[in-house]
Amino acid sequence: MSILKKLAVAAVALTIAGPAAAQQIIVVTHGQANDPFWSVVKNGVEEAAKNTGASVDYRAPETFDMVQMSQLIDAAVNQEPDGLVVSIPDADALGPSIERAVQAGIPVISMNSGSDVSKTLGALLHVGQDEFTAGKTAGEKLKEMGGTTALCVNQEVGNVSLDQRCAGFTEGFGGKVEVLPTSNDPTEVKSKVQAALESNQDVDTILGLGAATVGEPAVEAVQAVGRGDSVKVASFDLSAGFLKDVADGKAAFAIDQQQFLQGYLPVAFLALDAKYGLMPGGNVPSGPNLVTKDKAEQVIELSSKGIR
């Protein structure tokens, strides 16, 4: 057979076979459906899918439910994807399911929570921030600003990463810290923070662990009791509303962990791994970055677009 005929046959065979199947990647997080933070993560996942051509499926329980999340991971393992992305808010509850994925030969990357346990469970790397360090950074900054008595408002009780934030904050702050448990319902958060402020006039600092769910209602509570000049409010994560509070001087700063990257990078890494065998050699820190008054205006538009 001539070279031209061989090339023609190869071209026909390629046409019949069609393009190579897209890499299948499944993302399972603990993000609650009503938390705007996770919509930004999902935007990052979808952007990575678009840019890499991978087939990506994002899954999460409706509420903070570790039993349901472990079941979602098990279901993903049964599908034998080319890669699995997981958040790890509770290693005891999710560890067996993640280890099952690793034992099945599925490359796993953790994101957002679980940086301290990611490697021990067999994940290739973690994309996120060290939560204790981030909390400590916030505590040190608020101490510099004159804080002595603080509330650390936890809207997702049972999430180990949030416990680590409050622990780091307590160490960095050095003063009195009360952990105030709430749900992630902003109305409940405002009510509980307002009650805490009314019952303890010494509170001069509030750290929220989520901007839209805690930071914004905490600012409203401070304003409602007329203590805007004496109580500093800071929060993990970003929302357009909380950034406006920072820009307007009603809040001290936001702690940005760049959750868009937490959704985007693991998908991109797993797609490159499936296609070329490429993978970073270690964890990727996406934060923490403090967004203060001088920077807040620049970030508001991107936050409203679901990128920051």
Lookup: tokens for 81: 């994807």
Q: Is the pLDDT of residue 20 over 90?
A: no
CATH of region 131-256, choose from 3.30.360.10, 3.40.50.720, 3.40.50.2300, 3.40.50.920: 3.40.50.2300
CA distance to 12, 15, 39, 75, 93, per residue, from 212 (Å): 55, 50, 12, 31, 27
pLDDT at residue 4, as a whole number:
41
Coil, helix or strand at residue 178: strand
Q: What is the mean pLDDT of residues 240-261?
A: 97
Instruction: Output the CA–CA distances (angstroms, integers) from residue 155 to 6, 149, 183, in the order listed.
Output: 65, 20, 5
Find, among 214, 190, 208, the residue nearest to 152 by Cα. Answer: 208
Strand partners, 58: 27
The pLDDT of residue 33: 80
Coil, helix or strand at residue 158:
coil
CA dihedral 143, 240, 88, 58 (to 10 degrees): -170
How confident is the model at residue 195, as a pLDDT?
A: 98
pLDDT value for 34: 81
- State both tokens at 72: 């979602």
pLDDT tens for 76-92 read: 999 999 999 999 999 99
* Range 274-292 average pLDDT: 96
DSSP line for 45-64: HHHHHHHH--EEEEE--SSS
pLDDT value of residue 251? 98
SS3 percent helix, strand, coil of the chain, rounded to 5, is: 50, 15, 35
Contact 133, 176 (CB under 8 A): no
Please state the pTM of the whole predicted model: 0.84
Flag whether pLDDT at 69 surpasses 70: yes
Q: pLDDT-derived band of residue 68, with 50, 70 and 90 as boundaries?
A: very high
d(CA 308, CA 218): 21
**What confidence category does residue 189 fall into, taking pLDDT thresholds of 50, 70 and 90?**
very high
Q: How many residues does the chain have?
A: 308
For residue 287, pLDDT over 60 is answered with yes
Q: Quickly tell me which residue has 């299948």 as its tokens.
A: 24
* Two domains, one topology: 3-129+258-277 and 131-256: yes
| pLDDT for residue 126 is more than 80 | yes
Fold of 3-129+258-277: Rossmann fold (3.40.50)
> Picking from 96-100, 133-137, 155-159, which range would have the lowest pLDDT averaged per residue?
155-159
Say whether pLDDT at 11 is over 70.
no
Mean pLDDT on 104-131:
97
SS3 146: coil
DSSP-derived secondary structure letter, 22: P
pLDDT of residue 5: 47
pLDDT (tens digit, 9 = 90+) per residue, 190-215? 999 999 999 999 999 999 999 999 99
Q: Where are the domains of the chain?
A: 3-129+258-277, 131-256
